[in-house]
Structure 1
Amino acid sequence: MWNMNDITHLEYKSQYVYHIVFDDGTERDIDFSPYLKRGKVFQPLATPAFFQQARIEGGTIAWPNGVDIAPETLYEQCKHVSAERELSDKT
């Protein structure tokens, strides 16, 4: 279950990647390029200059055209990768 964690830090890294940090310290680089194929509302993000205009709004990442990604979706991506790393470290 999601604990209502908010993004507190957002840093553009490269192409379609942002480093995001949540209020509990969970963090990860997220590649947003898969979202570019999810319909017309995401098409402006394909322009690098527009993609780089992301900001934190309502505890999640958002762009000037109103596009945002649910924070629980991003948090789960971060936690999933963290769990995979823990498993690989143990083997």
Structure 2
Amino acid sequence: MLLDIIEFEFLEDYKLKLTFENNEQKIFDCATIFNEKPFEVLKDYHYFKQAKIEYGTLCWPNEIDIAPETLYLDSVAA
């Protein structure tokens, strides 16, 4: 199942509220991936806040992204 992200909002403590194309909303805790390359740069809150959606995927500068299926499977219901 591949569901694109259609919108998101920043929550406290590096969490993101994600809305998928089926209108399901989920919460993803980015702190859970801070120890994995290349995601350690997301610890910088200024950098973290530069997230945007490109082609249904959550992306940051320098070609860092998290696949929507990962976000969907590793999130909890909002």
TM-score by length of 2: 0.87
Match of 1:60 among 57, 65, 70: 57
Please identify the structure whose Cα radius of gyration is greater.
1
In terms of fraction of residues, the more strand-rich structure is 2
In terms of fraction of residues, the more helix-rich structure is 1
User: Is the CA contact (8 Å cut-off) linking 1:59 and 1:71 kept in structure 2?
Assistant: yes
Cα RMSD for the two superposed structures: 1.4
Structure 1: gaps spanning 5 or more residues: 83-91
Which residue identity is paired with 1:21? T
Q: How does 1:1-91 map to 2 (within 5 A)?
A: 2=1, 4-39=2-37, 41-78=38-75, 81-82=76-77
Aligned length: 77
User: Is the CA contact (8 Å cut-off) linking 1:15 and 1:48 kept in structure 2?
Assistant: no
* 1:33 partner SS: helix
Cα distance between partner residues in 2 of 1:28 and 1:22: 8
